[in-house]
Amino acid sequence: MTLGVAQPVHAHGGQPRLEINIDRINPGGVVDVRGVEFGYDDLVMLALIGSEAEIALGEITANAEGEFKQIVVLPSDLAEGTYYVRATTIHHWVISSPLTVWGTAVVEGGGQGERDEDDGLLAPMPTFAPGVIPDDAISQGQTQPASETTTATTGNPSILVMVVLLVLGIIVVFALKLKNAQ
């Protein structure tokens, strides 16, 4: 007869590590960060660190398996260089493999696709100095430029009410003075 001793079961027994989905990226790009082998419900603070910068990327809680995934958008004004994603918990300090940031910033809707002649942005755009209104911007019946408004055309009822009350107040004061003077 053999007696066996039960050994405790560990969901994860290795060292915590960070995995990133890319090793070279433009400023403003998106990086998937995955944490593995962290403790159950560990609060993990993420930061992007480089030789001249440390940028907080937020915090996330590891799941029951000690894992997490965070999508990170890099700042669009990030200087070129080598960076690391750092994860800090109460028990661990872990960095990712190097991330090389280079090139021009990725801008959302930045027209990254190919352009053709039908693209409206390729049409000449008229520009004028500030405060200068071209003659053709004023229609035939107008006596003032379209960019200027008057109290009557703004439709602001509070100004109109205040003016009416002020005029009524002045009339009442004069009426009372005339009545007392007689």
Q: Rounded to an integer, what distance in angstroms lies between the CA atom of residue 65 and that of residue 38?
A: 8
DSSP structure class, residue 87: E
Pairing of strands 99-101, 24-25: parallel
Bridge partners, 99 (sequence order):
83
145 and 133 in contact (C-beta within 8 Å)?
Answer: yes
pLDDT at 5: 43
- Of residues 118 and 43, more confidence is placed in 43
Alpha helices in the chain (DSSP H): 151-154, 157-181
What percent of the chain clears pLDDT 90, i.e. is strictly above it? 43
For residue range 68-97, list pLDDT tens digits in order: 999 999 999 999 999 999 999 998 899 999
pTM score: 0.53
Place of tokens 């006596």: 143
For residue range 126-176, list pLDDT tens digits in order: 555 555 555 554 444 444 444 444 444 445 567 777 777 888 888 888 888
35: closest CA among 46, 23, 51? 46
